[in-house]
Amino acid sequence: MTRRERSGEQQHTRRTGDIETWVRPLCALIVAGVAAYASYVHQRSFALQGGADRVSASLWPLSVDGLLLLATLGLLKQESSVGCRAKWAIWSAFLLGIAVSLAANVAAAPRLGSVNLTADPTIMGETSSD
């Protein structure tokens, strides 16, 4: 392999690495943004359905997701010097945040009506033999 070929290969590898450096975090940010928006809307709707005023309903999702964020950071950065009580508190906060967020999202999700597939002959594969 000539020096020029090696140089071109290194530049290609460097460019590919540079693209991956910003594309992956950007895609993760987009996915996280969509999930956060959907979660916020569902949790706010859940709080409003439960009788909360508009301000409280708007703050509710931030407190739940904030708890989850802090607990996640605590789980990711657990040092050996952290005591058993602290680890238990972090895990409890994480599981509580997941449970509350999931319950609010499920409760506020639109209800699916029953679908009768047998009423439409084209779905069931029936054809007219007249």
Work out the angle at residue 48's Cα, subtended by the Cα atoms of residues 44 and 51, and round it to the nearest 5 degrees. Answer: 145
pLDDT in tens, 40-74: 998 999 999 899 999 999 999 999 999 999 999 98
Place of tokens 């904030």: 66
Predicted TM-score (pTM) of the model is 0.62
Is 105 in a helix, a strand, or coil? helix
pLDDT value at 110 more than 90: no
pLDDT value at 115 more than 50: no
User: What is the structure's pLDDT at 90?
Assistant: 92
Which residue type is seen at 107? A
Cβ-contact 98, 68 below 8 angstroms: yes
